Chain A
Amino acid sequence: MIPTFAVVGHPNKGKSSIVATLAEDERIGISPDPGTTRSAHRYTMSIDGEPQYVLVDTPGFQRAKAVLEWLEARAASAQERPALVARFVEQHRQDPRFHDEVALLEPIVDGAGILYVVDGTKPYGAEYELEMQVLQWTGRPRMALVNLIGDGDYVEAWRQALGQYFSIVRVFDAVRADFGKRLALLQAFAELDEHWRGPIDRAVAALKAERPRRRSRSAAQIAECVVACLTRTEQASLSDVDAASSERRRELEAQLLERLRDYVRAQERQVRDRVQALYRHQALARQEAAAELLAGDIFTSEGWELFGLSRTQLVVSGAVSGALAAGGLDLLAGGASLGLFSSVGALIGGAGAWFGGDRLARIEVLGQNLGGRLLRVGPVRAPNFPWVLLGRAWVHHSLVAERNHARREAISLAVADATNLMDSIPDDVRKDLARAFRSLGEGDAGADTVPRLTALIERVLALEAAPAQGDR
């Protein structure tokens, strides 16, 4: 039988949050209003279509005392109690008074293990014992989860009370639990019944393996976006009259530049949607407008300072590029030039990065085969541009990857934490990235560019982006 876990408890204690977290399902209704969950919903974890375990989100107890009274009125031996609970379910299936109790007890009667959820930030109350007693009557293996919804701390009191009814009591913050904690909880489920060990272990292994796959898929999406943005050009025909009028030309340049910006914005939006889809956070995009910096326009100076390389890093990067570019001449001179060309190249590269850092794109007027001229804007030449793209994507990925599916507010960043973002990238990765960006900017990108860039970006994504901490 497939391990099945019914998540039960008082209303509004985070049952749906726990299910949303474990099932990675942001569609599960979570609301401060009690009674949001009206019926039991099953969430199946499967590997290649083969179910490994099932989580059942249930409505909360509404009339635990009445249920217990019904059961006690028909007092039976301990051995007969589970059958009595089954009888209760059977007899009250059509009874609107016990709609919620039937819905929550039904999967348990059918063989589910019990995950009883309480809120450890609110005081323990004796009325909870009625629910625990009803669950005890079912005779099913059960575990108590102390969820942490608010700010109070009554965990110890809860532990003592729950310890009398549950063999396993764990504290689990459904909204803030990271991936590791989610897996640890899942592994604990297996302790309820030794027969469940195999499927649960397989599920945990599959989820663990899925993690780097998602990162790798995200890196590929980001790399493709970077390539597309770095190689994009916008062009328009320029009549001789337009070409002669500097005002008209400037106007057209501005239009093309805006088109280029729009393209980049669209690419960014697209890659965000895809990354969020990979992590099953599709709905997050709808809330994105409320996010602060990530939703902000990529072409703002604030964003560039935040996500890109610092001025110093840019100059160093430009100097290294210049030295490399001119180094060939030193090699040709067989060392006789004493590194003169490399030095001059470094100077030019560094100065170019310093003075040209704010220039967005190359603007050219080209001749056309059939007469007239062509005004071409792009590709984007600003040295910091790919770093800004990468920085934003990196932060976004970090936020999304660690984000819990029980959280419903928009993603946001703590600006203060976002400084020195690029400092955390290892030097060798940064150099390789700089080389890849340069090669793209120079139109030397081939089919292998995206895989190479993907591998580098994957290494970056594996690092923790500092600003992401602000969201946790």
Chain B
Amino acid sequence: MLLARAVDVRRWLRDDRATPSSQRLQRDRTIGRELAASRPQERVLAWWSALAAAGHREADAPSTGDRVEAGRRLAVALLVALGVVFGAGVAGVALAYDGRHPVNLFTLLGILVGVPAVMLILTLLLLPGRMPGLGAVQGLAAGLNLGRWLGAWLDRWLGVDVFAPHGAAALVAGPFSRWQVVVFSQGLALGFFAGVLATTLLLVTFTDLAFGWTSTLDVDAGRVERWVSALAAPWAPWLPAAVPDAALVEASRYFRLEEDSAAVDVARLGAWWPFVVMVIAVYGALPRLLLLLLGCWRLRRATVRLLLDDPEVTALLDRLRSPLVGLDGSADEEAVEAPRAALPPPRDLPAGEGLVLLIWNSAVDAATAEGWLAGHLGVRPAAQATVDTVHSEAEQRARLAAAVSALRGGPRRVLVMTKGWEPPLLEFNDFLGLIREVLGGGCSITVVPMSLGGGVAANDRAVWAGALARVRDPHLYVQDADA
């Protein structure tokens, strides 16, 4: 079931990417804090269950993973069945005995053990991954491997990307695919040997088989006997009946031109069968069984890796484990007052007569202010005063009154120099109100946001013009920078 869960978890996490990152962090950390399991695999599976319990996913059955698992089981069963049929067929052909010549042991073992051994080597070549200089051989091995093709076909059939990721072009794509190919191909091979052994035993039981050996080469019986003994060494101590003796080897040699085979004890030629069965079992089936067991063991580990090495699962484990650092706030501002029309520059430049210069918050010293007026507007103020925020309202009022008291005809225009680099505060609006109150509503007021360099900065002017537009005074202006 691990494969099924791996497939489901990976697919679900792919879809989960659409969920905002903060929600995923919150959800998974909440689950993660409750998990008792410490091993990554167990944590993921526990998270998967918790996800369903918390209603974050539907526990649908059968899931894609279940179908993949079932598909794999079916594939293995089919491969074993195919192997059995194929093995039985090959064994039937290889053990064909018409009574004229005994079954040639060299041919028989070559077909039933030699060829599969070559196939086994080709399968083993796939295991280390791509090896420098052996690409062509590995490509051939991959092309001949039915398990690899079956994996790609299963992926297409089930609509997943599990057995042959990155498409059919991939040679042996990672441990899971590699060991799955091994399990598939060894399932086929074991079925094959099961078919071979079953057929052999059936033929031995119900027909009279005669085995012999022949060679064009100058091979004497003694050498063959040594080969046979070497082959039989693994079982010789506990199954001597399956170790042909020298006499049997000698008696089993035949030549097809030699018609007089009656000289040989025909009944003895059947005595090779235990040896044949043991060779097939030990040199054919046993390595496949061992490889299958190794494959199953490694496949299980690879399935765990398939689950844990997925980048989304790695990220999930990270979310489960890592403390959730929240930096949350309600940053959305309520709408600031709609963009207001900025105050225009004064239409009539102030003449010197009746011009009152006010310096707010010591924006500039008096000499600089007068110099700027003379240089930019070509005028001299008729009266001036310095008023600061820190002054009390009474003092501010007194300073304004003192400034205009000497003016004949009263103030006509007021010019307020302020720090352009400071933002316009409501305190300044209060001051403008005070000016109106003291000097009357008829005179125009021009605010000059001074820059640190002594002039009017364009960007500061824009800020001031925008802010002062809220005062809604029809005779209020903001001095332009390039005046």
Contact = CB atoms under 8 A, between A and B. Distances in A.
B171 A442 contact: yes
B331 A41 contact: yes
Nearest to A325: B132
B327 to A, nearest CB: 5
A65 B326 contact: no
B58 interface: no
Given A33-B466, A447-B306, A451-B311, A45 B325 contact: yes
Contacts of B402: none
A268 interface: no
A447 B176 contact: yes
A444 B129 contact: yes
B173 A443 contact: yes
B318 A217 contact: yes
A326 B132 contact: yes
A42 B330 contact: yes
A317 interface: no
A32 B174 contact: no
B423 interface: yes
Nearest to B421: A122
Most buried by A among B309, B325, B337: B325
Contacts of B33: 48
A451 B175 CA distance: 13
A61 interface: yes
A39 B323 CA distance: 31
A11 B33 CA distance: 43
B323 A48 contact: yes
B425 A443 contact: no
Interface in B419-458: 419, 421-427, 430, 452
Given A444-B170, A446-B173, A28 B331 contact: yes
Interface string A437-472: 001001111111111001000000000000000000
Most buried by B among A33, A45, A46, A329: A33
Interface string A265-284: 00000000010011010000
B367 interface: no
Interface in B122-157: 129-135
Contact of A44 (B167, B329, B392): B329
B166 A324 contact: no
Contacts of A451: 309, 311, 314
A116 B279 CA distance: 90
Contacts of B176: 446-447
Contacts of B361: 125-127
B325 A446 contact: no
A443 B133 contact: no
Nearest to B138: A444
Contacts of B21: 274, 277-278
Contacts of A217: 315, 318
Nearest to B329: A43
B178 interface: yes
A127 B387 CA distance: 11
B452 A35 contact: no
A79 B338 CA distance: 44
A96 to B, nearest CB: 10
Nearest to A61: B425
Contacts of A221: 311
A446 B133 contact: no
A223 interface: yes
A130 B390 contact: yes
B177 A446 contact: yes
Contacts of A39: 334
B419 to A, nearest CB: 7
A213 B423 contact: no
A207 interface: yes
B463 interface: yes
Interface stretch (A19-27, A298-306, A307-315, A410-418): A19-27
A195 interface: no
Interface string B384-399: 0000111010000000
B171 A444 contact: yes
B218 interface: no
Nearest to A25: B331
Interface string A140-166: 000000000010100000000000000
B259 interface: no
Contacts of A27: 331-332
A42 B329 CA distance: 6
A363 to B, nearest CB: 14
Nearest to B29: A48
Nearest to B32: A48
A367 interface: no
Interface in B210-246: none
Contacts of B314: 220, 451, 454
Contact of A63 (B309, B430, B459): B430
B169 A443 contact: yes
B362 interface: yes
A326 B133 contact: yes
Given A39-B334, A49-B324, A447 B427 contact: no
Nearest 10 CB-CB pairings of A with B: A446-B174, A328-B133, A43-B329, A34-B423, A27-B331, A328-B132, A62-B426, A443-B170, A46-B326, A127-B389
Given A29-B333, A329-B133, 16 more contacts: A10-B425, A32-B459, A37-B333, A46-B328, A49-B326, A60-B423, A63-B425, A64-B427, A217-B318, A233-B167, A326-B133, A328-B131, A379-B169, A443-B167, A446-B176, A449-B174
7 contacts: A27-B331, A41-B331, A122-B452, A127-B388, A152-B452, A206-B323, A233-B169
